[in-house]
Amino acid sequence: MEKVTRKLLNQAVKELEVGLLNLSNPTYNNIDKLMRKIMSSYSLTAEELHYGFRDLHNNQTPDEWIHNKRKMKTFKEFCEDVNLQEIWRNSQLKK
């Protein structure tokens, strides 16, 4: 088997990132199907894609990465929807 180039692996990881962000339901099975499709199109092993992804994402697995991304988005949306200054002001009045 040929050695995978860093450039090819980075392209596959970028495609995985985009695919993860576009999954409507990032379950283990859906992530596995996405990874298998990318592995096939780039002629990568599961280990190469998995560890290539982890190398670029602070050792997070694709599952962890997408779930953390969704939590951050949810928290950001929460902060935008809630007037935090109003909440703080109300909490100060109760003291």
Instruction: Return per-residue pLDDT of the chain as tens, 95 residues.
Output: 357 799 999 999 999 999 999 999 999 999 999 999 999 999 999 999 999 999 999 999 999 999 998 887 777 666 666 666 666 666 666 55
Q: Can you read off the two tokens belonging to residue 12?
A: 């596959």
Domain assignment present for residue 47? The answer is: yes
The overall pTM is greater than 0.85: no
Residue 46 lies in a domain: yes
Is 33 a domain residue?
yes
Instruction: Flag whether 1 is in a domain.
Output: no
Which pLDDT score is estimated for 4?
Answer: 78
Q: How many domains does the chain have?
A: 1
Residue 56: partners with Cβ closer than 8 Å, 6 or more residues away: 10, 13
Q: Which domain holds residue 23?
A: 6-93
pLDDT of 1 reads 39
